[in-house]
């Protein structure tokens, strides 16, 4: 990493960041939101079994999303450590904590397939009970993902601060990240987070799009990045 161009690191970070968002939108918005019917266990079970392959593929896409997010976390640390190694490291650990929580939550996303698969040992439950349990597991998955958003909020706040202080990226990107981070922190109290989700997500998506565009197209100011790295011994 020390021998790699910071501009190249920035562009790879932007591409992985973009892939993280696109995979998350596909799995959540185009599959999960369409198959899972809130409050209707029977309809949800029917949708999952009817579109079993699509449901399984969405789980695979979720895993790709988290792999991309973990790589993005590592690259953001490498990119921002010249500003403050300690703050960049804290931000990376907060992001990784969120990734662990969110990845583990996906176990509950795929678990309904085991309940609805017709295994002999599940015959002690009637179909309505299995459908209800499947919907319950999907709700646990959603709550786990919501918990992770609070950790990502702390990370966005710290990384935004580092971008704002840096001289190699536009300050507006740091400001947008900090504001989005404050929005995601609403999930420290889930009822508030869910009520504000659409507004926070729209603003965060706008900030992420601006950051991705800048990283891919312009990267970073390499001269200033190396000056800051040498000055801070990074």
Whether the full predicted model's pTM is greater than 0.85, yes or no, is: yes
On whether residue 166 sits in a domain, the answer given is yes
On whether residue 60 sits in a domain, the answer given is yes
- 195-233 confidence digits (pLDDT tens): 999 999 999 999 999 999 999 999 999 999 998 988 877
Nearest to 173 by CA among 136, 130, 220, 127: 220
Identify the pLDDT of residue 234: 60
Domain of residue 66: give its range. 6-231
State how many domains the chain has: 1
Q: Return all residues near 188 (Cβ < 8 A) that are at least 6 apart.
A: 150, 153
How far is 19 from 39, CA to CA, in rounded Å?
31
On whether residue 38 sits in a domain, the answer given is yes
Exposure string of 204-229, with b = 16+ CB inside 10 Å and e = fewer, is: beebbeebbebbbeebbbeeebeebb
Residue 29 tokens, joined: 């918005």
Identify the pLDDT of residue 232: 76
On whether residue 130 sits in a domain, the answer given is yes
């Amino acid at each position: 990493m020390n021998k790699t161009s910071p501009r190249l690191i920035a562009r790879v970070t932007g591409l992985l960041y973009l892939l993280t968002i696109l995979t998350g939108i596909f799995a959540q918005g185009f599959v999960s939101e369409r198959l899972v019917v809130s409050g209707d266990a029977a309809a949800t079970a029917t949708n999952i079994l009817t579109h079993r392959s699509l449901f399984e593929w969405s789980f695979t896409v979720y895993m790709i999303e988290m792999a991309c997010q973990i790589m993005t976390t590592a690259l953001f640390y490498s990119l921002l450590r010249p500003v403050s190694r300690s703050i960049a490291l804290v931000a990376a650990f907060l992001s990784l904590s969120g990734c662990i929580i969110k990845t583990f939550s996906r176990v509950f996303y795929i678990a309904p397939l085991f309940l609805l698969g017709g295994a002999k040992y599940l015959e002690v439950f009637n179909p309505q009970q299995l459908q209800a349990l499947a919907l319950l597991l999907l709700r646990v998955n959603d709550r786990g993902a919501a918990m992770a958003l609070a950790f990502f909020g702390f990370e966005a706040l710290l990384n935004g601060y580092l971008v704002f202080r840096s001289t190699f990226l536009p300050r507006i990107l740091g400001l947008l990240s900090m504001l989005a981070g404050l929005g995601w922190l609403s999930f420290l109290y889930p009822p508030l987070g869910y009520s504000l989700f659409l507004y926070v997500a729209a603003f965060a998506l706008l900030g992420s799009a601006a950051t991705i565009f800048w990283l891919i197209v312009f990267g970073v100011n390499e001269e200033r990045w190396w000056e800051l790295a040498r000055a801070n011994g990074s």
